[in-house]
Chain A
Amino acid sequence: MTKPAGISDDSRAKYEPVIGLEVHAQLKTKTKIFCSCSTTFGAAPNSQVCPVCLGLPGVLPVLNERAVEFAAMTGLAVGATVHPRSIFARKNYFYPDLPKGYQISQYDRPLCEGGGVEIHVGDVRKRIGLVRIHLEEDAGKSLHPEGKEGVNTTRVDLNRAGVPLIEIVSEPDIRSGAEAYHYLTKLKQILVYLDVCDGNMEEGSLRCDANVSVRPRGQAAFGTRTEIKNLNSFRYVEKAIAYEIDRQIALIESGGRVVQETLLWDSARGVAETLRGKEEAHDYRYFPEPDLLPVDLDASWVEGLHATLPELPDALRERLVREQGIPEYDAEVLTETRALASYYEETSLRSGQPKLASNWIMTEVNAVRNKTGDTIESFPIRPDRLGDLVGMVSSGRVSGKIAKQLFELMLGDPAGPEALVQKHGLLPIEDEAALRALVREVIAANPGPAAEFRAGKEKTFAFLVGQAMKQSRGRAHPEKLQAALKAVLTEESA
């Protein structure tokens, strides 16, 4: 990452960054917010449009009940106040992908206000407050020519126009790019738990703008802020904020002043640049949308919705620690998604081994998923089979080494671990005579270490066990193998 020159840690320490984020989340409804067009991503251009979302003369919006429900659920999940009455307003501006020449949004009477999200950065817990959550419609997509000589037209696809969004505005409680990253991760986790947003940044389901300013430590007043747009991943948000903090500090330290402006993040070059061509100051001329009634919500409806909220990540994490007795760290990893947590709970129940199940998922399962890109839902070993495998490890039915072999086999074979043991001849060698024969071979092949053991150097015992296990290709029953080795070494002196 390029950094503005001349920033020392000393000068950095003199300033406190103040960051607020505006997150736009696409709600996972089947239809658009004000018409019955599908919201499916990736459809042919302008195939999911109708007179309403095309903004034809004479059409009127009709609010999608599911969009209201999803927005209210989000508010309840973050402890916001869901207002009994909220009001849509028109935000007026011209742009080719904004069919009506105004966006229907909420302005001075948003659906939700307040609430907050708790984040963990390292060992520090911190609450990021929320200003508001409001409903609005998305614009369409403008495809601009990119550096093509002689091409001077923009193409417009209105499939996305009218897709329901919630805008989640944070308080300026964030102090670093890392905190912003954790806040976004947590927010996305909540939205996905609620199943109100798919959280997919590549498809634009989650978008973020950052407001960044710095002020001398101890100063109460905020510094002049800039807004960074075009932040297409959480890592870019983190990087762009860090970049902008340094840029502002360098500017102030060199006697300059921060100008209030909008910056575009260029992820390829790692720099934020002034957005050109916005010479005109915004004057959105908001006024209440006369085509829609106020959104009036019964207290009983809101209560009912509250009662149906799924268990959220924080509560689930605490419950896993409490009920399963696993460490906080494990619970944090296992509650990344609700599906992963369910997978864990089923595996744990099946095996009766909460911690061992957690280990297997955090290491073996996640390692494979990282390689293959599988989600936990698409992972080929379901919790019943993994639970059986974990059970077999804990009962000593198979060694850890065989268990790993079995795990590999299970990835490509839907059979249960016991059946695979039979099929591939992976039964443990438990017969004492066979084990004694095995260790005799190992002692014969390693006369030196055997002699050393007999001379009282017990450290070589482990080496001999390892050799014997290797010889058995992991199949030797660990405890019985050790017993056999000890017996042969002591009883059958050379």
Chain B
Amino acid sequence: MSAPANRPVVLESAETLAASVRSGARSAVEITRAFLAQADRTAAKLETYLHRMPDRALQDAEAIDRKRAAGEALGNLAGVPIAIKDNICVRGVPTTCGSKILEGYRPPYDAHVIERLRAADAVVIGKTNCDEFAMGSSTENSAYRITKNPWALDRVPGGSSGGSAATVAACEAPLSLGSDTGGSVRQPAAFCGVYGLKPTYGAVSRYGLVAFASSLDQIGPFARSARDTALVQNVICGRDARDTTSRAEARPIDLETLEEGISGLRVGVPRSILDEAGDGLAPSVRAAFEAAISALERAGARIVDVALPHAKYAIATYYLIAPAEASSNLARYDGVRYGVRRPDGDLRGMYEATRGAGFGREVKRRILLGTYALSAGYYDAYYLRAQKVRTLIRKDFLDALAASDALLLPITPTPAFKIGEKTDDPLAMYLSDIFSIPASLAGVPALSFPVSFDASGLPIGLQLVGRPFDEGTMLKVARAYEKEHDAASRVPAIVTAGEGGAR
């Protein structure tokens, strides 16, 4: 069977690929092979994966082709490969969260999102690299490898879902899933020039997502277009009885509404937050931000000034709440029931040796910080106070979103930084989360979308923030921008470099 279009398979949209599998124009196997071949050329160089599963992927693709041959209806992601961040459980497949403490661990169950993807006939092709337990902004905290940014191999892909962002940017997969606790989908999406959605808290079941900070964690998709982002979100969203914080309010988006344009739509711009970033905000990002405002205005949007007066407290708030929850969530890694054990005398020795050797520095730092914040005598001053500030931050967003339909703000203060550049100063790394963290604390949806490139060819992304359970409006704005700009359609040189190119 030959492809109808002359575009290489790996450059096609997921939507087109799924349609072609449903129509019989392409087979799931053919598509899967194309992406596996692409990954064969680049994945080792980019170090995007912790575990690839080509045999299983081809088996799954064959099964989908058989289903079609048998006349069965196929799902919305028919035959479309998808890469999964290594903190999302896939039954029988190594799931380490980038940590030594889970080396060799294979979950005995599928995450809810994996069940949904399989029901939609997607093909899971591997587990992507990430910062250990999703703690980090560069994927340098992975215990196993350092993922490279496909646009500049000496730079980080962002994090913590760096592998998932890079693999989509490098066309090794048309889609991937990451998880976003304080920006871990949106920030790497911006660094890698792809779309990254953090859904509303509760829009996607967390069942099977290895917890970092339970009140903030959300699984979200990476894709190379607004429509593909919506396509995946539609498959994974909705209520799951196994996650009581998941919500029935999360409903699929009608893809055709994304084409409606944004005439009259109110886009809120919280300018004060730019001042908070101060000198840290790169001129290229500031320029891209101003240009995007003008572009949206030209597309018919009304720009309105909004304020997020408490957003400046977001980092401090987040670095109390998230580590506190993490210190508890990571207590289960004790060497008793699964994962790695380091014997050392009595039980206590075993605990301390196992956790001391199994966790990396960043994880230990956050466990210590969280343990401290929750401990007797400090709870009110730290954790409880942070929760109250969180209330104020959420209210800021709800107020701003009452006066507008979506907010536009930066997602990262700079384009991708160099590998090793920030590893010595954790606080400096934390401060770069200033634009991503507020929406996480507010629990509102946020989308990182590619807008342009800086002078050295590094992608720049911006962030849209929406009302609770209104992912559609953000995607509509991003789609309107995408129609007039080519930032999203460009691919890094590595995709076409080397033998055979991208065919």
Report A's interface with B, CB cutoff 8 A: 51, 54-63, 90, 92, 94, 96, 99-102, 154, 156, 283, 285-287, 290-293
Contact = CB atoms under 8 A, between A and B. Distances in A.
Nearest to B384: A287
B94 to A, nearest CB: 12
Contact of A56 (B88, B108, B214, B324): B108
Given A55-B332, A60-B244, 11 more contacts: A56-B109, A60-B207, A92-B327, A92-B331, A96-B336, A99-B332, A100-B331, A101-B330, A283-B376, A285-B371, A287-B325
B97 A290 contact: no
Contacts of A292: 244
A102 B89 contact: no
A92 B241 CA distance: 26
A115 B238 CA distance: 42
Nearest to B88: A58
Interface string B306-346: 00000000000000000011011011101011100000000
Interface in B94-118: 95, 97, 102, 105, 107-109, 111
A432 B379 CA distance: 93
B107 A90 contact: no
27 contacts: A51-B107, A51-B108, A56-B337, A56-B338, A57-B89, A58-B87, A58-B89, A58-B208, A58-B210, A60-B243, A63-B244, A90-B328, A94-B331, A96-B347, A99-B336, A99-B337, A100-B331, A101-B334, A102-B331, A285-B327, A285-B374, A287-B325, A287-B328, A287-B374, A287-B383, A290-B213, A291-B244
Nearest to A55: B332
Nearest to A156: B336
Contact of B107 (A56, A94, A291): A56
Given A92-B328, A156-B336, A60 B383 contact: no
Contacts of B211: 57-58, 291
Determine the main DSSP class of A at the interface with B. loop
A329 B213 CA distance: 59
Contacts of A62: 241-242, 244
Interface string B193-216: 000000000000011111101110
B245 interface: yes
B208 A101 contact: no
A54 B210 CA distance: 14
Nearest to A285: B374
Contacts of B243: 60
A58 B324 CA distance: 17
Interface string B243-280: 11100000000000000000000000000000000000
B375 interface: yes
B469 interface: no
A287 B214 contact: no
Contact of B210 (A57, A154, A285, A293): A57
A92 B332 contact: no
B49 interface: no
Contact of B337 (A55, A94, A283): A55
B435 interface: no
Q: Which 4 A-B pairs have the closest CB atoms?
A: A101-B331, A285-B374, A290-B215, A290-B214
Contacts of A51: 107-109
Interface of B: 87-89, 95, 97, 102, 105, 107-109, 111, 206-211, 213-215, 241-245, 324-325, 327-328, 330-332, 334, 336-338, 347, 351, 371, 374-376, 379, 383
A101 B339 CA distance: 15
A288 to B, nearest CB: 8
Contacts of A287: 324-325, 328, 374, 379, 383
Contacts of B376: 283, 285
Determine the main DSSP class of B at the interface with A. loop
B332 A290 contact: no
Contacts of B102: 57
Contacts of B327: 92, 285
Nearest to B207: A60
A101 B329 CA distance: 8
B256 to A, nearest CB: 34
Contact of B374 (A61, A92, A156): A92
A292 B245 CA distance: 7
Contacts of B328: 90, 92, 101-102, 285, 287
A100 to B, nearest CB: 5
Contacts of A291: 211, 214, 244-245
Contacts of A293: 244-245
A181 B352 CA distance: 43
A96 B331 CA distance: 11
Best-surrounded residue of B107, B213, B331, B379 (most CB of chain A within 10 A) = B331
Contacts of B242: 60, 62
A101 B325 CA distance: 12
Best-surrounded residue of B243, B332, B376 (most CB of chain A within 10 A) = B332
A57 B97 contact: yes
Contacts of A290: 213-215, 245, 325
Best-surrounded residue of B206, B214, B325, B337 (most CB of chain A within 10 A) = B337
B278 to A, nearest CB: 33
B244 A58 contact: no
Given A54-B337, A62-B242, A154-B347, A101 B111 contact: no
Nearest to B337: A54
Contacts of A54: 337
A309 B105 CA distance: 48
B244 to A, nearest CB: 5
